[in-house]
Structure 1
């Protein structure tokens, strides 16, 4: 609030001594004209450094972030509700989507809450004076940290699979969860304690200049750089494998697509390695594209905001940088339109700012385009259109009620879809084959029998093609069907083998006493 006094600063600037020390005082943009007079630019700074269309552009970028959030929520709901064969969900994709939602909430919250950016006429609000500022800054920093780390883990996982032939399993998953969420939480706490957030660049709160390079921007850029190095190292390995496959003319490679030894990847020929790498790339190209897009957005945003922050701080320390713009404002009585060209020394140009905001808001849309599948749409359609039928049965069985037989005379027996037997509670089940009649003692079989022998309209009887079918006897020693062999008795005398049972030994002793003269020379 302004105190009682007279403003001695030229229009549109306001005298610093007329205001209290409330709000984020370090966010004021002021110049000291004399020892007693300090003039400050009215809050917010963007209203003076950019044309009026800046507010419209900022709102449009926030609405794009809303659309991206909706896309991410659709992906998460699909992964949670639909079966895995419809979504192909993976924890790396799920966690990356959650990270993008956090980043988008940093732009959605100001759009929903419409917070007041300024504490007074020259002082912006901070996280200590506005809850909406604290919430938007928290989600923006958390989303930036977690987004960079999860694309780093995704690139690392792909690199280990392609270049080192390692199968990332449960250990890597738990490591990823601890690393991908633990580091961002620590990063947010450190950023809030050492720097804090305030309204410095539009309706979203950003990190303050103090210690921001050490606790946010440099660590983010380090992980982003490692991600790019790992990703391009993977690309380089793929190119190397491809070039080696072009020079491989071995006969074993042409004849088989498998390694020469089972479970040995080191014995792969170059063409076999190329086929394996090509399959992995074909399955992971969407994830590779997402890694490159998000890393590019984060690096672009970091560079632009660091440049903007550095420019504003340099104006505070070197008044000559903003002198042409200040003189233009004073000359035109506070009209900013003729002085927008001179404002380039104080802020980044509007097209670049718009590109940064729109790219950050579109991350959720890119996730849906690249990680979403058409099978998700069909899965939701099947989920809402398929109504479970109460009359559906696990086994289709014979209906024992005579009324149902009268209603539907076309069906005389209904087989179990799993066992091929008549399933009726009132009749003993019998095996049914396409060419065997139902037993006459079954009511269904009796009806079939009467139907087969029913006289025709000209007095003739329908011939019984199935009644005299010969019964097939399975051979005793047949093993063509999957059942245990039947016990077969055999006579030791036919094979001239020595009997092992007591009864057989007794018979053998009786034969030894009797000598057949005609069989003495038999071999």
Structure 2
């Protein structure tokens, strides 16, 4: 850390700088850590920028870049997941618009940490003033991605929690209306929230190389609404889980054998109630098996957002310069003056003013893990098989093997061994038609044709004489001749009056 010149120090003790030496021309002026000193005729002295260099150890700034690299790895996984949703068939990915939009929100959040890693922005406008979104373009972009990504993640988590609640608890299948309403709600709310936050509060360099929201009206503009949607989604999720437990317990109690030894048959109402409980349990069980991934990622991401919000709000409140903070920081400030700016001697006094390095690093790294959670809960192992099949069809189709028997069959069909020697030549389909079978399982294990009669030539149908499958003209009536049947000649008139009419 380079020592400032004596002109900038003015009458302030080391390591403080005189505020009057830095006119207000830009940067985030409320981010200065300045205090009036009564002994020096109300002269205002400020700590050099950035403030984290004085409250944390020397390696803290480089440690915060770990979170940036974690987001780089998570970004690669998120892009892989999105490309799988776009390119691969549904049978490999089981994609859903709620999953796709949630992954996009995570990508925006990851870009907020990747851009500063590549741009290497300067955190300070001058020696005592940090940069903000008006003085640094990188700060504006990274802060906008961070706020928009946070809004998008929470809104789409809420939409997923609502959809799961409607399906399980109310037996309502979200249709087209829910689809369009979710798209409008899931993207318009983050856009409106970002516009209001940037215009009313703004972003600046608070700690690390990523711009975060400022303190002014941050609780009303950003943290309050964000935590409200997170709490609402969490409540819906807990209600859904409670309903599943209730259905399971009810079905479990109904499945118990009765202890009554009487031989009375069960009433109709009891049987209907038991059947209804079992049906409800099977329906809920099927939905839970299908939706457990979405329910898990809702709980994990909401826990992340709540943890980040609580830690950052407490850090933000602890660094606001006021009389209470100055009184609390008096031992630390006095130590810096006595030690002539050697911060290592005064770090024990600064521990009560800011969050520990472990907590700050944990918050930044946990935010980067959102991409890993998306791949873990929304991705599937079948995607790898789908990509292998995709590249095989794209790049290896022109090198497919054609046997000599197939070439000989094209010139002389009689050389092909048939199931029947008198059958017609076999009509062979191309491999493309086999791979594009309407059966989704045919691409993996096409079932062989077990109907051998398909290759046997058709036989001529001989209609029997006694067939009534088609109308016949009436035959001429003739006398009944007992010799034409098996009846005995003398039995024609026994007990019967047989009369024959002619004409």
**TM-score interval for Structure 1 and Structure 2 normalised by the shorter chain:** 0.7 to 0.9
d(CA) in 2 for partners of 1:477 and 1:19?
118
* Residue equivalent to 2:30: 26
* Residue equivalent to 1:286: 293
The reply on whether 1:519 has 2:469 as its aligned counterpart is: no
d(CA) in 2 for partners of 1:173 and 1:267?
35
d(CA) in 1 for partners of 2:400 and 2:302?
54
Equivalent residue for 2:461, pick from 473, 481, 486: 473
Equivalent residue for 1:415, pick from 417, 422, 426: 426
The reply on whether 1:370 has 2:377 as its aligned counterpart is: yes
d(CA) in 1 for partners of 2:476 and 2:225?
90
Map 1:131-150 → 2, pairs under 5 A: 131-150=137-156
d(CA) in 2 for partners of 1:42 and 1:316?
20
Cα distance, 1:399 vs. partner? 7.4
Equivalent pair of 2:318/2:325 in contact (CA under 8 Å): no
Equivalent residue for 1:228, pick from 219, 227, 234: 234
| Matched position secondary structure for 1:206 | strand
* Residue equivalent to 1:189: 195
Map 1:264-413 → 2, pairs under 5 A: 269-313=276-320, 315=322, 318-386=325-393, 387-389=396-398, 404-405=411-412, 409-410=415-416
Equivalent pair of 1:3/1:18 in contact (CA under 8 Å): no
d(CA) in 2 for partners of 1:138 and 1:28?
22
| Matched position secondary structure for 2:159 | helix
d(CA) in 2 for partners of 1:398 and 1:391?
14
What are the Cα deviations for residues 115-172 of structure 1, in whole angstroms up to 9, with x where unaligned?
Answer: 0000001000000000000000000000000100100000000000000000101110
d(CA) in 1 for partners of 2:501 and 2:164?
83
CA 376–474 in structure 1, closer or farther in 2 if over 3 Å, else same: farther
What are the Cα deviations for residues 409-460 of structure 1, in whole angstroms up to 9, with x where unaligned?
Answer: 4557751257xxxxxxxxxxxxx965559xxxxxxxxxxxxxxxxxxxxxxx
| Matched position secondary structure for 1:247 | helix
The reply on whether 1:163 has 2:169 as its aligned counterpart is: yes
d(CA) in 2 for partners of 1:129 and 1:169?
46
d(CA) in 2 for partners of 1:411 and 1:361?
63
* Residue equivalent to 1:256: none
* Residue equivalent to 2:13: 10
d(CA) in 2 for partners of 1:142 and 1:477?
85
Equivalent pair of 2:9/2:16 in contact (CA under 8 Å): no
d(CA) in 2 for partners of 1:433 and 1:95?
49
d(CA) in 2 for partners of 1:99 and 1:92?
11
| Matched position secondary structure for 1:519 | coil
Cα distance, 1:331 vs. partner? 1.8
What are the Cα deviations for residues 263-313 of structure 1, in whole angstroms up to 9, with x where unaligned?
Answer: xx9996112211111111111111111111111111111111110111111
CA 5–289 in structure 1, closer or farther in 2 if over 3 Å, else same: closer
Equivalent pair of 1:290/1:367 in contact (CA under 8 Å): yes
CA 244–287 in structure 1, closer or farther in 2 if over 3 Å, else same: same
| Matched position secondary structure for 2:397 | coil
d(CA) in 2 for partners of 1:494 and 1:70?
91
CA 164–335 in structure 1, closer or farther in 2 if over 3 Å, else same: same
Equivalent residue for 2:45, pick from 14, 39, 48: 39
CA 214–3 in structure 1, closer or farther in 2 if over 3 Å, else same: farther
CA 389–416 in structure 1, closer or farther in 2 if over 3 Å, else same: farther
d(CA) in 1 for partners of 2:465 and 2:139?
86
Cα distance, 1:57 vs. partner? 1.8
Cα distance, 1:385 vs. partner? 2.7
Equivalent pair of 1:29/1:316 in contact (CA under 8 Å): no
d(CA) in 2 for partners of 1:54 and 1:266?
63
CA 400–78 in structure 1, closer or farther in 2 if over 3 Å, else same: closer
| Matched position secondary structure for 2:212 | strand
d(CA) in 2 for partners of 1:205 and 1:391?
55
What are the Cα deviations for residues 42-77 of structure 1, in whole angstroms up to 9, with x where unaligned?
Answer: 111111111122122211111001111111100000
| Matched position secondary structure for 1:281 | helix
Q: Please, what is the CA RMSD of the aligned residues? A: 3.4
CA 389–26 in structure 1, closer or farther in 2 if over 3 Å, else same: same
Total equivalences in the alignment: 433
* Residue equivalent to 2:491: none
d(CA) in 2 for partners of 1:184 and 1:381?
37
| Matched position secondary structure for 2:133 | coil
| Matched position secondary structure for 2:319 | helix
Q: Which moved more, 1:11-20 or 1:152-161?
A: 11-20
Cα distance, 1:12 vs. partner? 1.1
What are the Cα deviations for residues 484-509 of structure 1, in whole angstroms up to 9, with x where unaligned?
Answer: xx9823234699xxxxxxxxxxxxxx
Cα distance, 1:323 vs. partner? 0.6
CA 494–191 in structure 1, closer or farther in 2 if over 3 Å, else same: farther
Cα distance, 1:227 vs. partner? 0.9
Map 1:234-249 → 2, pairs under 5 A: 234-249=240-255
Map 1:67-106 → 2, pairs under 5 A: 67-106=73-112
* TM-score computed with the length of structure 1 as normaliser: 0.76
Cα distance, 1:366 vs. partner? 1.1
